Amino acid sequence: MAGIILRDIQKFFGDAHVIRQLNLEVQHREFVVLLGPSGCGKTTTLRAIAGLEEIDSGDILIEGKPVQKLRAADRDIAFVFQLYALYPHLTAYENIAFPLRATSESRAEVERRVRHVAQALAIEHLLNKRPSALSGGDMQRVAIGRALVRRPKAMLMDEPIGSLDAKLRENMRTEIKRLHLENDTTTVYVTHDQVEAMSLADRIAVMHDGVLQQVGTPTDVYQHPANLFVAQFIGSPVMNTAKASLQAEGGNARVIVGDNDGAFDLPAEILQQIAPANGLELTMGIRPEGVRVAREATDGFTPVEAHIIEPLGAYDIIDLKLGRQIFRARTPSGFVAKPGVRVWARLDAVQTHFFDARSGGSLNVRLRG
């Protein structure tokens, strides 16, 4: 059974069409991340599920039941915001217990459940402290505890770790994931951070301009992006893209990039997969790890010039110049000694993408290596 179903959702703010015909099914116990840049409609979608925002048309079902007529409080959903929204005059314990106070649970049961949640979040030692005495990460743990303690049907999280520093975010990611594994609560999580989406989600729903672009597992959206937007929004450094045209040459194919800036070899099967249609303009895409670099002239490799080298410690990112085009490649640390030298590059066929330059849609090319 689906945990949450969104069917044909439309939402306007005045003239702005912020959610366009959105359809999404979140499975029971699934962790789905709504990912997109600011203004894409992801938070509005989340707030619509919570009942904090009315939709103009469409259906929202939670565990099979339409909920549009239900108030937020009656939807049995917990919400965690970026800003912790804790009661400053209450201790961490009382903050977590708060949602249970309105119910008829016994004192002992409340205590048991608060302790259980606190243990899962490793904040047992903080229960007597007030929010002002807690760090940002601990405040967010308390806020998550408060959301979980009711055992809601679904948990909605809006950039819950967006305001924490980088190291803490890394740790909190792992904690949120573990917590989900242990509690199995259906979760919809909103973020603009693709690393968060990749590392947390069972499935990612990418949004842009109110339109759902693609729904898939992290591996799907990374390896087979549906369009240029998804291709460039997911992954860091960003996928290299260039205007491209194809040409047969002695049993092989060549992809000519930019305005005749240079060319790379590709397997001939590309010529069967992309039929030369009238007026079809191509954009090719390749992630930095798909650009193979050699220090010596190598058969099937194209000479390029090494430009800026970014040493990131575990690996380097190198800008390779081919005419006026720049392709960024990921190499082992120190592989290319300095900017300005000549190196040779080849595209890994498996990781080479082609898009319709006009629509941005992927042509779903699948090449073997």
Partner 1 sequence: MAHIRLENITKTFGSHVALKDLNLEIADGEFFVLLGPTGAGKTTTLRLIAGLERPNSGAIGIDHEDVLNWTAAQRDVALVFQHYSLYPRYTVRQNLEFPLRSRVRHYAQPEIDARIARAAKTLRIEHLLDRKTDRLSGGEMQRVSIGRAIVREPRVFLMDEPLSNLDAKLRESLRSELKDLQMKLGATFLFVTHDQIEAMSMGDKVGVLNQGRIIQVAKPQDIYNRPKDIFVAGFVGSPAMNFFGGETRDGRLTAFAGAMVLGADGPARDWLRLHSGRVTIGIRSEDIRIGPQEPAGARVHDVENLGVEKIVTLRVDDQLLRATAPAALELPIDSTVNFGWNPEKLHFFDTASGANLALS
Binding site for partner 1 (CB under 8 A): 37-38, 165-167, 170, 173-174, 177-178, 181, 192-195, 198-200, 218-219, 222-223, 232-238, 287, 289, 307-308, 310-314, 317, 319, 330, 333-334, 339
- Residue 245 and residue 282 in contact, taking contact as beta carbons nearer than 8 Å: yes
Q: Which amino acid is at 348?
A: D
Q: Which is nearer to partner 1, 122 or 297 (CB)?
A: 122
Tokens of 346: 């080849």
Q: Which is nearer to partner 1, 300 or 334 (CB)?
A: 334
How big is the CA angle at 243 (ends 238 and 245), to the nearest 5 degrees?
130
Least distance between partner 1 and beta carbon 222 (Å): 3
Q: Which is nearer to partner 1, 183 or 232 (CB)?
A: 232
CB burial class (10 A; 0-12, 13-18, 19+) of residue 329? buried
Q: Is the dihedral of CA 14, 15, 21, 27 positive or negative?
A: negative
Tokens of 200: 């947390």
The SS3 call for residue 246 is strand
Least distance between partner 1 and beta carbon 224 (Å): 11
Q: Which is nearer to partner 1, 176 or 244 (CB)?
A: 176
Q: Which is nearer to partner 1, 166 or 277 (CB)?
A: 166
d(CA 291, CA 287): 7
Least distance between partner 1 and beta carbon 66 (Å): 34
Q: Which is nearer to partner 1, 230 or 246 (CB)?
A: 230
Least distance between partner 1 and beta carbon 232 (Å): 7
* CA-closest candidate to residue 202, choices 62, 33, 2, 28: 33
Least distance between partner 1 and beta carbon 317 (Å): 7
Least distance between partner 1 and beta carbon 199 (Å): 3
